[in-house]
Structure 1
Amino acid sequence: MIHVKTRASFGAVVAATALLTVAGCSATAPVDEAADKTSVTVENCGTESTFQLPIGNVVATSNAANIGTILRVGGLDRLAAVVLNTNNDAIMESMFGPGIADVPHLDGTITMETILGKQADLVVGSYSGLFKGASGVTPESLQSNNIDAYVISDSCRQSAAADSALGTMGPWDALRADVTNYGKLFGTEDTAAEALTELDSRLARLESAPDAADKPKVLIYDSGEEDLYTSGGNGAPNGIIDVAGGTNVFADVDNTWFKASWETVAKSEPDVIVIMDYKKSADEVQGKIDAIKSREGLRDLDAVKQNRFVVLPLAMFTSGFPNVYGAEELRAKIEEFGLAPSSGIDWTTAPSA
């Protein structure tokens, strides 16, 4: 839907940062290819949606890794505010270069007042995050305030029901959709095309690595005490685990993120446990490991006895461009644990051209 807006002219985007220190490849200075357009139409969650241009004030919420996608396609200068733990700034800058630390970071409940205060003309969110509507912010309420909404593609609902399961496409296809769409929305389609080339090159290298005869079973430990918040078959972690040479213990669950009982977790008998690091406190990760080691049914698992824990930032495992770097790190650890044949690949470097 087109919303009539009056916006100040937004000129060409200046160069996003150059060096991807983790990825080992260069980011190209984006050019505003939509400078002469007044609107653009993209497919978002199966619907053709039209957005007014230029887009100059983006509030990015719900998903840290998706902020990485925006950075990778050259959208740094479009960001008016982000929902991102400041402890993740260094991780983002190691992947996409400096700049994110200078963007205002939002904390606490994100309300319509928050968004209006940032003079947003686009809000990015997910149905597993902001667009659940707990604070009153939904795509519909944004539209009534003359603000466009973009739904992160991995959180698309399978039906119109508010309690619908999420996930209508594979995780890598969801990422490709966001990369392509952001390129169109920000007028940085050439940079988005370069990002897709990098993504496909890294995925091809991961898929070329030899698999074990029995792929190791991998559990995602996001959070939880009474039960475990983890990822099912539709989420980004499932795609990451798959290309890294493992199998998600909850791959058969038709959802993105969900809660599993500890009894179910123990019965899944994971070979590797990936601990999501929220970067909120110094003892967060050790607290999660200690909780596993003290829980009956889990402490006797071989994965626990042999300390086959992999600690990775949550910012690499929600849907976004950092996913492919997370997959490389997970593959390296699976090889280190002896659970997959050695690939002979240095996963800290970019694929050769």
Structure 2
Amino acid sequence: MKQLAIAAGLSLCASALAAETTVQSCDRDVTFDKVPSAAISNDVNLTEMMLVLGLADHMVGYTGISGWKTLDEDMRAGVEALPELSSKYPSKEVLIGADADFFFAGWNYGMKVGGEVTPQTLAPFGIDVYELTESCIHIGQKAKVGMDDMYNDLLNLGRIFDVEDKAQALVDGYKAELAAFTAELDAGDTPLRVFVYDSGESTPFTAGRYAMPTALIEAAGGQNILDDFEKSWATITWEKVVERNPEVIVIVNYGNVTAEEKRAFMMSSPAFADIDAVKNDRFVTLEYVEATPGPRNIAAIKTLAESFWAQ
């Protein structure tokens, strides 16, 4: 019996050591000596990353979805056993009250610079934070957005939760699927000029150089007219949009204003009458969960490309 107890103890130690890993999260190195067992994710796309890796059993809930977005059938099925702990950004008390040991979020994806929920404010309560790669621009410098931002998050989650083989297989599959699609894509010789319309009427909220739609548009054979805008998701002027004259407008669908209402606003305004995309009624819609980093990005690229290059 004593030998069995010793063997069990050695097995537990081996398991703990096997799970120890260090990942880079924005400008921090974060070390995990055990697999998180009470994780919380914020936002619909980050939650889908957790689900696609089969990590629901390691979660105690999620936050930041119903306050802005709705869940489709796939997402509802994936999180049906988990509570939504906060409809929008969670407070520190919510995370502590859930006995969380891990928070997957990002800057402006559940955390704000200088806010009450940050890696530093959660550390004293034993809550480790992994930050969405796309969002790192809010606290420092990073390279222009690319598909590797999303792949990096999946691979790091795989390391943190000891499902590295599954994460690598997913990423390899996404890369192969995208490569096969783009190899067959009959795109034009010149990238299409594309504007991302997220929200706003007096001033538009859009995607700049560091926001995922820039990478999706490029993979589909277009060019974000604001890929020189040194921001992630941010507000610009309508004058800038008119000046750069997009040929296609990508609408991000979420919130109280529907994609059709956003299109109608642009189509009916005399200020936009000379924009090529408006003159030719060339709009394409992406759901929020497709336009932000996550497992639906490859499908989003296909949606864009089919709209860009439809005959």
TM category, shorter: 0.7 to 0.9
1:260-339 → structure 2 map (5 Å cutoff): 260-278=236-254, 280-281=255-256, 284-336=258-310, 338=311
Alignment of 1:341-352 (within 5 A): none
Distance 1:167 1:40 in 2: 23
The corresponding residue for 2:154 is 179
Look up the SS of the partner of 1:219 in the other structure.
strand
Distance 1:34 1:243 in 2: 40
Aligned to 1:147: 127
Residue 89 of structure 1: how far off its partner (Å): 3.4
* 3-state SS of paired residue (1:156): helix
- CA deviations on 1:214-251 (whole Å, 9 max, x unpaired) are 22111111111221111112221111001111111111
Are residue 104 (structure 1) and residue 83 (structure 2) matched?
yes
Q: Distance in 1 between matches of 2:277 and 2:48?
A: 31
Q: 1:266 to 1:165 in 2, by over 3 A?
A: farther
Partners of 1:217 and 1:271 within 8 A in 2: yes
Q: State the Cα RMSD in Å.
A: 2.3
User: Structure 1 unaligned runs (5+)?
Assistant: 1-32, 158-162, 339-353
Letter aligned with residue 232 of structure 1: G
Which residue among 223, 230, 250 is the counterpart of 2:206?
230
Letter of the structure 1 residue corresponding to residue 112 of structure 2: K
Alignment partner of 1:60 is 2:41: yes
Note if contact 2:38-2:100 (Cα within 8 Å) is conserved in structure 1. yes
Alpha-carbon distance in structure 2 between the residues aligned to 1:227 and 1:245: 27
Partners of 2:272 and 2:52 in 1: how far apart? 39
Residue type of the alignment partner of 1:110: P
Q: Percent identity?
A: 26
Task: Tell me the alpha carbon deviations over residues 299-340 of structure 1, each in whole angstroms, 9 at most, x when there is no partner.
Answer: 33231233211112111111122111111111111122x4xx
Secondary structure, in 3 states, of the residue corresponding to 1:195?
helix
Higher share of residues assigned helix: 2
Report the equivalent of 2:118.
138
**Given the alignment, which residue of 208, 229, 232 partners 1:253?**
229
SS of residue paired to 2:29: strand
What pairs up with 1:112-131 in 2 under 5 angstroms? 112-131=92-111
Moved more, 165-174 or 255-264: 165-174
**Stretches of structure 2 lacking an aligned partner (at least 5 in a row):** 1-13
User: Structure 2 matches for 1:22-33, cutoff 5 A?
Assistant: none
Contact residue 113 and residue 139 of structure 2 kept, 8 A = no
Decide whether the 8 Å contact of 1:34 with 1:186 is kept in 2: no
Call closer, same or farther: CA 1:288–1:49 in 2, change over 3 Å: same
The answer to which structure, 1 or 2, has the higher relative contact order (CA under 8 A, 6+ apart) is 1
Compute the displacement of 1:294 (Å).
Answer: 3.1
Aligned residue pairs: how many?
Answer: 293
**Hey, what does 1:207 align to over in structure 2?**
182
In structure 2, give the amino acid aligned to 1:324: I
* Preserved contact between residue 19 and residue 160 of structure 2 (Cα < 8 Å): no
Letter in 2 for 1:250: L
- Distance in 2 between residues matched to 1:239 and 1:180, nearest whole Å: 19
Q: Which amino acid aligns with 2:269?
A: R
Cα distance 1:262–1:69, how it changes in 2: closer, same or farther (>3 A)? same
Stretch moving more, 125-134 or 217-226: 125-134
Write the distance in 1 (CA, Å) between the matches of 2:153 and 2:126: 22
SS at structure 1 position matched to 2:278: helix
Sort the Cα spacing of 1:91 and 1:276 in 2 relative to 1 into closer, same or farther, 3 A: farther
Instruction: Tell me the residue number matched to 1:73.
Output: 53
Check the 8 A contact 2:65/2:88 in 1, yes or no.
no
Pairing 1:84–2:65 present: yes
2 CA distance for matches of 1:326 and 1:197? 18
| Residues 155 and 167 in structure 1, CA contact (< 8 A), matched pair in contact too | no
CA distance in 2, matches of 1:234, 1:37: 35
